[in-house]
Structure 1
Amino acid sequence: MSDRATRPSAETAPPSMRAVVQHRLGGPEVLEMAELDRPVAGPGEVLVRIAAAGVNPLDWKIREGDVPMYGPPPFVLGVDVSGTVEAVGAGVDRFAVGDEVFGMPRLPAPTQAYAEYLTAPAGELVRKPAGMTHPEAAALASSALTAWQALVGIADVQPGQRVLVHAAAGGVGHVAVQVAKARGAYVIGTARAGKHAFLRGLGIDEAVDYSVVDFEDAVRDVDVVFDLIGLDYGARSLDSLRPGGILVSAFLADPGTTVEEAESRGVRFRTIGVAPSGPDLEAIAALAEQGALSVHIAATFALEEAAKAHELGETGRVQGKIVLLP
């Protein structure tokens, strides 16, 4: 048999797409552009042509091997996506070809958003708010789900409660400030002084410069602390809570405290591991449609500049979110 006969013809070869792939763990330099087969939507799934993909700290933690949730390489990073439905699988009546959607599908399995296309369970995506661009929607997805599931799902923030958000100007933090305000809370946030004007623009009630004062001395009697930093911030945050208050930490690796320590001091402690949720996304999209929730984009990069995006993100000084544009 000839070599030509063993190769797929142009007519039978599957369509390809560009994607950012890593074949080994390491720094930003391990991120490489590659040509992959375009995925096909299975039953209950949609194929999405990606218009924008959010960049998150989780991405570089997976890239380095600090969070081995995807297993060994090779794999494609990215959990936030916004784009257009290109095809629908069997049994899908939630969307039609041409619908603009966004979400954080499949996590903790690989979402694979650093690419031109992905497939996703239809129930884990929702329609993009009409007033939002694709980059804004992609930047919003995982940040808003994390904030919503922490402040609404776990803490059940109520009107008039006092809420403290650590790293309030960051990708999740600045969205959490808005979620808490939309729930009617009095919101306090920790951030350097240079970011206080940004936070006031989001409606924050108090901004505390953690580099000048110890936040646990400056902030007392709060009902909810949402911690995005962990380590010593966990135990220190317990001092800011009123009796019966709750600390919710999104820093799973080392939240800095335990349920037992919190209970011994008359408060509660929970961790939040964000999960895909169509209903939560619908509530988030509704807030965005009402103008009560927006996302700040710090920078955008082309898909092939993913390494540069990671380098910027890892400085720890980003205000808002970074987005890749395929």
Structure 2
Amino acid sequence: MRAIVYRTTGDPDVLELVERDTPEPGPGEVRVRVAVSGVNPTDWKTRSGATNPKIFPEVTPHLDGAGVIDAVGEGVDAGRIGQRVWLYMATLGRATGTAAEYTVVSADQAVPLPDGVSFDVGAALGVPALTAHRALTVAEDGPRRLRPGALEGKVVLAAGGAGAVGHAAIQLARWAGATVISTVSGPEKARLATAAGAHHVINYRQGDPAGEIRAIAPDGVDIIAEVALGANLELDLAVLRTGGVISTYANDGGKPVGLDVRQNMMLNTRFQFLVLYTVGEEALLAGAEDVAAAVADGAMPVGEEHGLPLIRFPLERTADAHRAVEGGAVGKVVVDVAP
């Protein structure tokens, strides 16, 4: 099979297209013929050596993807052969991800994908959707699981609604019944956040964004899914309701975070920092189940018209796909693995 590998960390040029033996699934595992592989910021950061020290001599990157199960290991229902699936966290504890024609994962990490849903949607789920799910289910008085109506009466602020996680947060929050506000940096990203389903979109670079948000939510925002805590903290605290939660999954821009302790005491602010690598199996399985339900309801489409443009590369240009993500491409970068 064809696969992308790297043996040393570094810039995208360390990625190499090679031929490797097709892997065999072990007990409790499935083998998937990958159609589309999704690329996330964590993939290039791991490849570069910036995070998650390299522990395997050779690595095939990418956590997310979609394809068809073509073999199962001992203990897995053989009826799953031929099933269309989306994959998440493929390289968690493994050296082989989805940037290959075949990959092997735990059976639980291969989630059924309805026949009417494209592999593009499947490859765009994984890290962004599970991160968004976690961000929306950690409020002290909020739901631990998502379903239609679970966030009824709640106001959710998705910072950076044109990004992959922000896009998923908008879609999941709206599916669960929340009033969804998104902050963006300009008109084009506003168009994408609106297409994703945000009820209200606010340019945080102009006017009085805090005043605009408070006009929509006079009692404050219940849940903030935050991509740039250092840059956005002042705005977040200006619009957060007492007892609300700021779920932060990134600190884009790298601005240091300083807290006014008394201000946050008076607000009873709840800060939830999150990353999927250490969130635990229970949270991952719950997130995958809820996301699958949203997908089945048609709530998580992708593409320009749905607020998440797709930026495509063939497998042999995976290095260029990494450069696109590292360069801040707006949309979802995917690698077409199958011909």
TM category (shorter chain) comes to 0.7 to 0.9
Which aligned pairs between 1:108-147 and structure 2 lie closer than 5 A?
Answer: 108-110=92-94, 112-147=97-132
* C-alpha distance 121-100 of structure 1, shift in aligned 2 (>3 A): same
Task: Tell me which residue corresponds to 2:273.
Answer: 271
Aligned to 1:38, what secondary structure does the other structure show?
coil
Offset of 1:93 from its aligned partner?
1.7
Which structure's residues are more often helix, by fraction?
2
* C-alpha distance 257-168 of structure 1, shift in aligned 2 (>3 A): farther
Q: Which moves more between the two structures, 34-43 or 91-100?
A: 91-100
Task: Tell me which residue corresponds to 1:9.
Answer: none
Mapped partners of 1:59, 1:308: distance in 2: 13
Task: Tell me which residue corresponds to 1:84.
Answer: 68
Mapped partners of 2:189, 2:7: distance in 1: 37
Offset of 1:19 from its aligned partner?
1.1
Q: Which moves more between the two structures, 189-198 or 71-80?
A: 71-80
Offset of 1:126 from its aligned partner?
1.4
Aligned to 1:244, what secondary structure does the other structure show?
strand
Specify which of 297, 300, 303 is matched with residue 290 of structure 1: 297
Given residue 290 of structure 1, which amino acid in structure 2 is its aligned partner? D
Mapped partners of 1:66, 1:309: distance in 2: 18
Offset of 1:230 from its aligned partner?
3.1
* C-alpha distance 208-146 of structure 1, shift in aligned 2 (>3 A): same
Offset of 1:141 from its aligned partner?
2.2
Which aligned pairs between 1:1-326 and structure 2 lie closer than 5 A?
Answer: 17-71=1-55, 74-93=58-77, 95-106=79-90, 108-110=92-94, 112-152=97-137, 156=143, 158-191=151-184, 192-213=186-207, 215-216=209-210, 218-220=212-214, 221-234=220-233, 236-251=235-250, 256=257, 262-263=264-265, 265-274=267-276, 277-296=284-303, 297-319=309-331, 321-326=332-337
Q: Which moves more between the two structures, 68-77 or 92-101?
A: 68-77
Mapped partners of 1:194, 1:306: distance in 2: 27
Given residue 206 of structure 1, which amino acid in structure 2 is its aligned partner? H
Given residue 256 of structure 1, which amino acid in structure 2 is its aligned partner? V
* C-alpha distance 141-108 of structure 1, shift in aligned 2 (>3 A): same
Aligned to 1:47, what secondary structure does the other structure show?
strand
Gaps of 5+ in 2: 144-149, 215-219, 304-308
Residue pair 1:224, 1:248 contacting (<8 A) in 2 also: yes
Higher CA-based Rg:
1
Aligned to 2:137, what secondary structure does the other structure show?
helix
Offset of 1:270 from its aligned partner?
0.5
Offset of 1:263 from its aligned partner?
4.1
Offset of 1:241 from its aligned partner?
0.5
Mapped partners of 1:74, 1:259: distance in 2: 45
Mapped partners of 2:71, 2:85: distance in 1: 12
Given residue 141 of structure 1, which amino acid in structure 2 is its aligned partner? G
Offset of 1:288 from its aligned partner?
1.7
Gaps of 5+ in 1: 1-16
RMSD: 2.5
Offset of 1:116 from its aligned partner?
0.9
Identity among equivalent pairs (%): 34
